[in-house]
Chain A
Amino acid sequence: MANTNIDSVKQRSYDAIVIGSGISGGWAAKELTEKGLKTLVLERGRDVKHIVDYPTANKMPYEFEHRGEIPHATREANPILSRAGAWQEDTDHFFVKDNEHPYIQKKPFDWIRGYQVGGRSLLWARQTQRWSQYDFEGPARDGFAVDWPIRYEDIAPWYSHVESFAGISGNQDGLAELPDGEFLPPNPLNAVEDHFKEVLSERFEGRHLIAARFANLTKSTPTQLAQGRSQCLSRRLCKRGCPFGGYFSSNSSTLPWAEKTGNLTMRPHSVAHSVIYDEKHEKATGVRVIDSQTKEVTEYYAKIIFVNASTINTNLILLNSISSRFPNGMGNDNELMGKFVAFHNYNTKVRAEFEGLSEFATFGDRPGSTYIPRFRNMFRQETGFLRGYATAFSAKRNMYSDRSGIGQSLKESLLNPKLGGWYVGAQMMGETIPKESNSVSLDAKKTDTWGMPLLNIDIDFDENDRKMEIDSMEQLSEMFTAAGFKNIKTTQKHDAPGIDIHEMGGVRMGKDPKTSLLNEWNQLHACKNVFVTDGACMTSTSTQNPSLTYMALTARAANHAVEEMRKGNI
């Protein structure tokens, strides 16, 4: 009997446990298994195998019963999810439905989730811009949040590391505010985008339009071919899962790579209940797991734990990891865990038409668009609001048909589409300031189907965000006018936060254990063998799409963890 118990514990013991298999968990798994660590990856959702579990990937539009549309009753039953543009008939199976995993909205917050192996890495927008020194210095310079414990030079080699493996397209643009990297060929710009780029460079100092950096393979190098991934074919059906591995996801890249080492154990249907703390040895010893199907509770053990459950769930798991040493959640001595959550502000759009360059059109497709790095308050404070916004921009010329008629004339018009004029569109991507009042916390009474406490989410925009929204519309309109764009239309939405799907913070990094939860290596200050490298670790948000930074922080932390293990420090 005693032997059976020992065997059972042994069978449930690994060198490392990674909670979550999304974009950062996949990287933790890859780095740790490559270094020889027997690694257990826990995923609360079902398995999604690359290619075989992409049921809609090759379907023609007419093969979808409702031509892509989600039925009305389903939309009505999912008010939160229905606000996510990517939720369509072809991607339905990758999104969590509102009633499956409820949470409490103290203020409206659209929490969009993908519970499956690969998580939301299957569904992401794939923009991958590096942070610069000005982003890491932001909180210290402008006096908000806490100072980041790292600087650009600490993460730069890890950006290179993840870019080379994932395959990122882009130009060497030579901009201090958006550092260059290891890039595959860029996505081409079109005639009007080049025109706008020129207008900015001639008439707007410090404003640059570049080919956005994207995690789509504009070329397949031996590095990606070795992963079984080939060149992106510009199908723009990424969110169905790509049978060519044309874009980076955990499913197409890091997880199969980790599996090849022979050191990976993947356990789907595993809800992480809490991280287990050993009071005597003063360290974490494993993870308590609820089987999502049987509800059976099992403990798994490891020397190091990576918590990559996605920002809000990482907060949930750590807050739920209660021990005598940590009555408020693991590592939460200062009671700041769950606080200072921030996100990105996508609330404004500016659109216009352009009559020039009518000799050109666009043909075919590309997996990218263009990007204007932040230009407000970049090198010094110069407006009435803190920080700024980057801008996504694209120009296109569509084919259209006159639909006013009825009968044979309508049929002929539909079958003979005509070339329309140029349209341009821009969208802000604003930094929000982390505040103590923007928080997530465990509900004292309510629990979910698995007995996990429900989360209270209490997050909102503030005055700074509204000022920035107005500025973005004014500045973009001015830039559009200078470029000769006509019929400029601005829109200012009042979306709830969350729909940006860039929630960050709650377990922030910092230098001082009194004011932060994680150190410069993403270790909990108070429990050094627990690492948090998903969005929860973010001290501030800057304006860049965050996934690339999560990947680089994860690879950096995982390599540090292995070194520290080998030195016997953890």
Chain B
Amino acid sequence: MNRRQAIKRTVLLSGGMVFFKYSLLGQASSLSVPASATFGPKEERLLQLVVDTMIPTTDTPGAKDLGVDQFVLLMVNDCHSEQDQIAFYSGLHNLDAFTEKHFGQFFTLCDIDTRIEALNSVNKKSDASPELQTFFKIAKKLTIQGYLESKYVMTEALPHKMIPDPYDGYYPASKLGGKI
């Protein structure tokens, strides 16, 4: 199916973030999801839990708090090929079944350690479908990107300097934690 021909349905994604001021998009936003994708409240919760598992809330905001799940969806829908999109949504949809088979219950019902183990096993279990693997690969890449390039991380955790320090080509490596 041609992506551009696809009739897209709009899904309203709710916010519900703990650290609302850091949210990537600033507000609950509407995203267009390919018509062929299965994406409803269940998948929405599932994705939130996946990003939350990958980069959890500690004494600082985690990926879910920063709205990274919305960023992941935005990037999948806008910046990935139709093929990737189909695999991503299919993989996401199948995550519960995969987790139930190997860990006894749905991903959404597992405790944090089991959720981590489940995600780690996507690349190890031979019965993990290519779609599930694609989902995992894209979700992890975009979760890391969305987190590192969130306003919170770029202004508070690892402040990004628009104007860098003057160049030093002989800077002592030890000052950056490097081995001598």
Find out whether the CB atom of A399 lies under 8 angstroms from the CB atom of B176. yes
In the bound assembly, the distance between CA atoms of A190 and B171 in angstroms comes to 9
Binding stretch for chain A, among B37-45, B77-85, B99-107: B77-85
A69 at the interface (CB under 8 A from B): yes
Closest Cβ–Cβ distance, residue A65 to chain B (whole Å): 7
1/0 per residue, CB under 8 A from A, across B12-36: the answer is 0000000000001000000000000
Find out whether the CB atom of A410 lies under 8 angstroms from the CB atom of B170. no
In the bound assembly, the distance between CA atoms of A360 and B53 in angstroms comes to 37
Find out whether the CB atom of B167 lies under 8 angstroms from the CB atom of A73. no
- B residues near A65, Cβ cutoff 8 Å: 74
Find out whether the CB atom of A235 lies under 8 angstroms from the CB atom of B169. no
In the bound assembly, the distance between CA atoms of A70 and B175 in angstroms comes to 37
Closest Cβ–Cβ distance, residue B173 to chain A (whole Å): 4
Binding stretch for chain B, among A13-21, A56-64, A343-351: A56-64
The one of A61, A66, A361, A366 in contact with B172, judged by C-beta atoms closer than 8 angstroms, is A361
Find out whether the CB atom of B167 lies under 8 angstroms from the CB atom of A362. yes
Find out whether the CB atom of A414 lies under 8 angstroms from the CB atom of B170. no
Residue of A nearest to B117 (CB): A406
Binding stretch for chain A, among B88-96, B124-132, B154-162: B154-162
The one of A187, A360, A361, A415 in contact with B157, judged by C-beta atoms closer than 8 angstroms, is A415
- B residues near A233, Cβ cutoff 8 Å: 163-164
Find out whether the CB atom of B164 lies under 8 angstroms from the CB atom of A418. no
- A residues near B112, Cβ cutoff 8 Å: 407
The one of A189, A190, A406, A418 in contact with B116, judged by C-beta atoms closer than 8 angstroms, is A406
Q: A66-B79, A71-B78 are in contact. Are A415 and B165 (CB under 8 A)?
A: no
B7 at the interface (CB under 8 A from A): no
The one of A62, A235, A366, A411 in contact with B167, judged by C-beta atoms closer than 8 angstroms, is A366
Interface residue ranges of A275-333 to B (CB < 8 Å): none
Residue of B nearest to A61 (CB): B149
Find out whether the CB atom of A358 lies under 8 angstroms from the CB atom of B178. yes
B10 at the interface (CB under 8 A from A): no
Residue of B nearest to A63 (CB): B151
- A residues near B116, Cβ cutoff 8 Å: 406-407
- A residues near B79, Cβ cutoff 8 Å: 66, 69-72
Find out whether the CB atom of A66 lies under 8 angstroms from the CB atom of B75. yes
In the bound assembly, the distance between CA atoms of A364 and B162 in angstroms comes to 11
B110 at the interface (CB under 8 A from A): no
- B residues near A359, Cβ cutoff 8 Å: 172-174, 180
A202 at the interface (CB under 8 A from B): no
Q: A189-B169, A234-B164 are in contact. Are A73 and B3 (CB under 8 A)?
A: yes
1/0 per residue, CB under 8 A from B, across A221-240: the answer is 00000000000011111000
Residue of B nearest to A234 (CB): B164
Find out whether the CB atom of A362 lies under 8 angstroms from the CB atom of B144. no
Closest Cβ–Cβ distance, residue A333 to chain B (whole Å): 50
Find out whether the CB atom of B163 lies under 8 angstroms from the CB atom of A407. no
1/0 per residue, CB under 8 A from A, across B110-150: the answer is 00100010011000000000000000000010001101111
Interface residue ranges of A531-549 to B (CB < 8 Å): none
Find out whether the CB atom of B148 lies under 8 angstroms from the CB atom of A362. no
Residue of A nearest to B66 (CB): A62
Find out whether the CB atom of A363 lies under 8 angstroms from the CB atom of B81. no
Find out whether the CB atom of A407 lies under 8 angstroms from the CB atom of B54. yes
- A residues near B60, Cβ cutoff 8 Å: 415
Find out whether the CB atom of A411 lies under 8 angstroms from the CB atom of B176. no
- A residues near B81, Cβ cutoff 8 Å: 72
Closest Cβ–Cβ distance, residue A246 to chain B (whole Å): 11
- A residues near B54, Cβ cutoff 8 Å: 406-407, 410
- A residues near B3, Cβ cutoff 8 Å: 72-73
- A residues near B163, Cβ cutoff 8 Å: 233-235
In the bound assembly, the distance between CA atoms of A188 and B165 in angstroms comes to 14
A397, A403, A419 — which one has the most chain B CB atoms within 10 A of its CB?
A: A419
Closest Cβ–Cβ distance, residue B9 to chain A (whole Å): 17
Residue of A nearest to B24 (CB): A62
Interface residue ranges of B42-72 to A (CB < 8 Å): 53-56, 58, 60, 62
- A residues near B151, Cβ cutoff 8 Å: 60, 62
Closest Cβ–Cβ distance, residue A210 to chain B (whole Å): 14
Closest Cβ–Cβ distance, residue A523 to chain B (whole Å): 44
Find out whether the CB atom of B173 lies under 8 angstroms from the CB atom of A361. yes
In the bound assembly, the distance between CA atoms of A360 and B176 in angstroms comes to 10
Q: A67-B145, A406-B120 are in contact. Are A188 and B78 (CB under 8 A)?
A: no
A110 at the interface (CB under 8 A from B): no
Q: A58-B162, A65-B74, A72-B80 are in contact. Are A408 and B58 (CB under 8 A)?
A: yes
Find out whether the CB atom of B167 lies under 8 angstroms from the CB atom of A187. yes
Q: A71-B78, A419-B176 are in contact. Are A407 and B56 (CB under 8 A)?
A: yes
Known: A363-B167, A408-B56, A410-B55. 19 other contacts (CB 8 A): A60-B155, A61-B160, A62-B151, A65-B74, A66-B74, A66-B79, A71-B78, A73-B3, A189-B169, A236-B164, A358-B178, A360-B169, A361-B178, A362-B168, A362-B169, A365-B167, A403-B144, A410-B54, A419-B176
- Across the A-B interface, give the 6 residue pairs with the lowest CB-CB distance, nearest first: A190-B169, A364-B165, A363-B171, A419-B178, A366-B167, A365-B164
Using a CB–CB distance below 8 Å, which chain B residues touch chain A? 3-4, 24, 53-56, 58, 60, 62, 74-75, 78-81, 112, 116, 119-120, 140, 144-145, 147-151, 153-155, 157-158, 160, 162-180
* A–B complex contacts, Cβ < 8 Å, 13 sampled: A67-B145, A187-B167, A235-B162, A237-B162, A360-B169, A364-B164, A397-B173, A406-B140, A407-B54, A407-B55, A411-B55, A415-B158, A419-B176
